[in-house]
Chain A
Amino acid sequence: MNRKKVLIIDDEESFCKLVKMNLELDESFKVETATDGKKGLELAKRFKPDVIILDIMMPKMSGFEVLEKIKKDPQTITIPVVMLSAKEDMDFQVKAAQLYDELYLIKPIDAPTLKAKIEEVLARRGIK
Chain B
Amino acid sequence: MLDVKDIKDSLNKFIIDPLMVVDGQKNICMVNEALRYLVGYKEEDLVGKKVEVIFADSEKSILKRSNVEKLIGTGTILNIESYYQTKDGREVPVLFSSSVMHGQDGSDAWIVCTARDISERKKVEEELRTAYEQIKEAQDQLVQAEKLNAIGLLASGVAHEVKNPLGIIIQGINYLQAKFPGRKEDISNTFSMMMESAKRANSIVNTLLDFAKAKKLEVKLEDINNILDGALELVKANIKFENINIETDKKKNIPHIFVDKNRLEQVFVNLIMNAVQAMSEKGKIFIRSYDKVLSEPKQGISGRGDYFKSGEKVLVVEITDTGEGIPPEVFKKLFNPFFTTKGLHGGSGIGLYVSRNIIDMHKGLIEIQSTEGKGTKVSIFLRVPKREEAE
Query: Footprint of B on A, CB under 8 Å?
Result: 12, 14-15, 18-19, 21-22, 25, 57, 86-88, 90, 107-112
Contacts and interface: CB of A to CB of B under 8 A. Distances in A.
A18 B163 contact: no
Given A22-B178, A25-B178, A88-B209, A107 B171 contact: no
B170 A108 contact: yes
A18 B168 CA distance: 7
A86 B178 contact: no
Nearest to A88: B209
Contacts of A112: 174
Interface of B: 160-161, 163-164, 166-172, 174-175, 178-179, 195, 198, 202, 209, 215
Nearest to B210: A88
Most central of B161, B164, B175 by chain A CB within 10 Å: B164
A87 B202 contact: no
A87 B160 contact: yes
Per DSSP, chain B at the interface is helix
B160 A108 contact: no
Contact of B170 (A12, A21, A110): A110
B116 to A, nearest CB: 66
Nearest to A110: B170
A112 B178 CA distance: 10
B180 to A, nearest CB: 12
B231 to A, nearest CB: 19
Most central of A15, A57, A108 by chain B CB within 10 Å: A108
B170 to A, nearest CB: 5
B167 A21 contact: no
A108 B160 CA distance: 10
Interface pairs A-B: 9 shortest CB-CB: A108-B167, A111-B174, A86-B163, A18-B171, A108-B166, A107-B167, A86-B160, A14-B168, A108-B170
Nearest to A111: B174
A107 B169 CA distance: 11
21 contacts: A12-B167, A14-B172, A15-B164, A15-B167, A18-B174, A19-B171, A22-B175, A22-B178, A86-B161, A86-B164, A86-B167, A107-B164, A108-B163, A108-B166, A108-B171, A109-B167, A110-B171, A111-B170, A111-B174, A111-B178, A112-B174
Contacts of B164: 12, 15, 86, 107-108
